[in-house]
Amino acid sequence: MGLDEIYNNYEVDPSFQQLREFGSQFVPGFGSRINPDVIFIGEAPGVMEDIQGIPFVGQAGVKLNEFLKEAGIDKFFKTNLLKFRPPDNRDPNHEEIAASVSYLIQELNEINPIVVCPLGRYAMRVLLPDQTSITKASGKVFNSRWCSAPVIPIIHPGRVLRPGAETATIIIRASFQKVKELIDGANEEVS
Ligand code: URA
């Protein structure tokens, strides 16, 4: 199944009927579709993403782009675990997450990146159910039963928009460096 077919199925899945009725638009992943260096998985679209139909175009996305630029990572794909915006930006609920998991796994396997980076605890817990703390896991390399690529969870870049983010910023920066190292190592092996 190709990526477009996966997205078409998600868009009409009855599990997301309530979110569609709320007026949310479907927000598919965006970026380098074929063997990117890394795929980033956020939580769910926010208001700007809902308006534009593209993930990470709001303030958190600006921060994500800053970290990417700083680390020198330029071949990436961005997506979200939940692909409809929840009302009032509430956290995704259990049913919405459960209904999204199989699509995310198909998406990861179709895109086949070198590294998979869940951003924040919601996406991390889907791929690494044994990990409980995103702060502790951020920047470490794990294997997931759901994808062949190594998984490096990272604290959500949106965290740096809130007060008291000095430590989080340091951890996020170091985590992006780790992702870059892994990408460079893998690309060197191939060349
Ligand atoms: N924007 C997204 O697309 N995803 C997030 O997780 C946060 C902001």
For 52-102, the three-class secondary structure string (H helix, E strand, C coil) is: HCCCCCCHHHHHHHHHHHHHCCCCEEEEECCCCCCHHHCCCCHHHHHHHHH
CATH T-level fold of 3-190: Uracil-DNA Glycosylase, subunit E (3.40.470)
Closest ligand 1 atom to residue 119 Cα is 6
DSSP code for 144: E
Q: Let me know the angle formed at the C-alpha of 130 by 124 and 134, rounded to the nearest 5 degrees.
A: 40
pLDDT for 2: 94
Q: Which atom of ligand 1 is nearest to the CA of 43?
A: 6
Under the banding of pLDDT at 50, 70 and 90, the label for residue 29 is: very high
Residue 1 has pLDDT above 90, yes or no: no
Q: 43: CA distance to ligand 1 center in Å?
A: 6
Cα 37 to its chain centre, rounded Å, is 14
Is 90 exceeded by the pLDDT of residue 176? yes
